[in-house]
Copies of this chain bind each other. A is one copy, B any other.
């Protein structure tokens, strides 16, 4: 029953292969850490790494990869479409097994303290680890980006949670936090009318009064000439996939439109799907921890 957490740091480098590989090698070199995935976006000039393992090993890998990035990335010459403020821009920790959110918040504080004291990178705690309401949302912390941060960090209300009010000259500043696993989920419609997907997205998302823990936008899939509702599910335990899917079906009916499929992008915890199977199959008293073979294997 060993503890398992996930870490998904975002680095401000999506073009120089040698830098991206050096970060990957650093993560892989830490014993008991499994690098599940990493991908880079050229126009964003940004890379996302996903790794898991025991908390102490994952924290160590996060620290060493941030150190490597701070040595190889100079934010003064970084350009890209995605907003960013540091060589390692954000480092979220996610509880996976036998770990509470509170423990993950603690891990993010441990890492934040080390980044500040050993690498002189100022750290802001965000999402579940945020110490004030306005720091929950990363966008608030990142306002002004790397270039604007040099001045803004001197404001009383922009004081970092760890480190001096002084941006690292090349590595900038970093946000460290804790959050639930995020499921990237899209639902496809049999219409080429982008406006319909935008209307549905607006109806279902939390910010407009829809379902809690749902962020959504309407987008066009140009190659298929269909509109899509693109969703970030930020807490699939409270708001499960099937509820979003069924609600989109119902809202689509208003326009005489049907759902023709859905897709999950990247990784998802098993339970995000088991939950939906339980709903549709009307399963009574199913205990996924004890009755799913793979869970028994992972916990043994």
Contacts and interface: CB of A to CB of B under 8 A. Distances in A.
Nearest to A188: B284
A292 B273 contact: yes
Nearest to A273: B277
A contacts with B: majority SS: mixed
Given A260-B282, A263-B284, A282-B262, A270 B268 contact: no
Interface residues of A, number: 43
A266 B296 CA distance: 12
A298 B34 CA distance: 11
Nearest to A181: B293
A36 B241 contact: no
Contact of A296 (B262, B267, B286, B297): B267
Nearest to A37: B296
A278 B276 CA distance: 9
Contacts of A52: 293, 297
Contact of A298 (B266, B278, B297): B297
A266 B287 CA distance: 10
A300 interface: yes
Given A34-B300, A298-B294, A274 B284 contact: no
Contacts of A156: none
A73 to B, nearest CB: 27
A280 interface: yes
A294 B296 contact: no
Contacts of A296: 34, 36, 267
A282 B187 CA distance: 9
A281 B36 contact: no
A278 B262 CA distance: 9
A291 B6 CA distance: 15
Given A261-B284, A263-B285, 9 more contacts: A36-B300, A260-B282, A262-B283, A264-B291, A267-B293, A268-B293, A276-B281, A294-B298, A298-B298
